[in-house]
């Protein structure tokens, strides 16, 4: 705003504004905007419908560092995807395992000094311990202090079976504890 007051800059400003309005680079711009964190974690290749599940898993609502969420980006491998960048946070193995359940193709990039130090492909575990809630209301895990345990029957699309009540659950029934 202040710049507008200076004489001779108006012309330049108009040209710049024109460039910005040109639409096709919109997506690139969106990615660029969130591209810079010096230390932290970037989770890529998240299916768009799992974006906010990952946000919940990592409890990002309460994170004090930078959090950038971009969703509905084009991806060559999974159609549309989301990217989440979290400054000043490294993930625990348990968090990575939880992400694998909702985003089986996700990659976790560890950033140090603006550089990707390590790239981890998440892996759906064979057994899911105490991560997913059983959808069966009479299951012992919903009525007593028993941690849930599921066997993974199929990884994509995800199908799991409760160790205690044998209820089978699909991707749509999954509720992260
Ligand atoms: Zn159960």
Going along 3-157, which residue ranges are E strands? Answer: 39-47, 67-75, 79-87, 107-112, 115-121, 127-129, 149-155
> Rounded to a whole number, what is the distance in angstroms from the first to the last CA of the chain?
48
Q: Tell me what pLDDT residue 2 has.
A: 47
* Alpha-carbon distances of 21 from 26, 27, 70, 130, 142, rounded to whole Å: 9, 13, 20, 49, 53
Please name which of 57, 33, 35, 31 lies closest in space to residue 122, comparing C-alpha atoms: 57
Tokens 């044998």 -> residue = 166
Task: Please give the residue that has the higher pLDDT: either 131 or 43.
Answer: 43
Task: Please give the residue that has the higher pLDDT: either 173 or 30.
Answer: 173
Size (the chain), residues: 177
Distance, CA 128 to ligand 1 centroid (Å)?
12
Distance, CA 85 to ligand 1 centroid (Å)?
34
10 has pLDDT over 70: no
32/37 Cα distance (integer angstroms): 11
The CATH code for residues 127-173 is 2.30.30.20
Arithmetic mean of pLDDT, 116-139: 92
Give tens-digit pLDDT for 50-91: 999 999 999 999 999 999 999 999 888 778 999 999 999 999
Distance, CA 141 to ligand 1 centroid (Å)?
6
> What residues does CATH 2.30.30.20 cover in the chain?
127-173
Architecture of domain 25-121: 2-Layer Sandwich (3.30)
Distance, CA 155 to ligand 1 centroid (Å)?
19
Distance, CA 47 to ligand 1 centroid (Å)?
27
Kindly report the pTM of this predicted structure.
0.71
Please name which of 113, 128, 63, 55 lies closest in space to residue 89, comparing C-alpha atoms: 63
Q: pLDDT band at 24, cuts 50/70/90?
A: low
Task: Please give the residue that has the higher pLDDT: either 175 or 16.
Answer: 175
Please name which of 32, 58, 38 lies closest in space to residue 46, comparing C-alpha atoms: 58
Arithmetic mean of pLDDT, 122-131: 90
Distance, CA 142 to ligand 1 centroid (Å)?
8
**Averaged pLDDT score across all residues of the chain:** 84
15 has pLDDT over 90: no
Distance, CA 13 to ligand 1 centroid (Å)?
62
Q: pLDDT band at 111, cuts 50/70/90?
A: very high
> What residues does CATH 3.30.70.140 cover in the chain?
25-121
Distance, CA 38 to ligand 1 centroid (Å)?
43
């Amino acid at each position: 705003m202040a710049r507008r007051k200076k004489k001779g800059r108006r012309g330049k400003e108009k040209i710049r504004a024109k460039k910005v309005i040109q639409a096709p680079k919109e997506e690139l711009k969106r990615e660029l905007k969130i591209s810079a964190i010096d230390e932290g974690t970037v989770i890529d290749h998240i299916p768009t419908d799992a974006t906010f599940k990952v946000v919940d898993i990592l409890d990002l609502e309460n994170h004090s560092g930078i959090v950038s969420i971009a969703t509905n980006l084009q991806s060559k491998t999974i159609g549309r995807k989301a990217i989440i960048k979290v400054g000043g946070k490294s993930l625990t193995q348990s968090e990575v395992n939880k992400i694998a359940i909702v985003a089986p193709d996700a990659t976790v990039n560890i950033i140090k000094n603006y550089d990707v130090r390590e790239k981890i492909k998440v892996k759906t575990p064979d057994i899911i311990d105490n991560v997913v809630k059983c959808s069966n209301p009479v299951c012992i895990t919903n009525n007593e202090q028993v941690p849930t345990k599921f066997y993974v029957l199929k990884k994509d699309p995800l199908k799991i079976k409760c160790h205690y009540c044998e209820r089978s659950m699909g991707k749509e029934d999954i509720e992260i504890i």
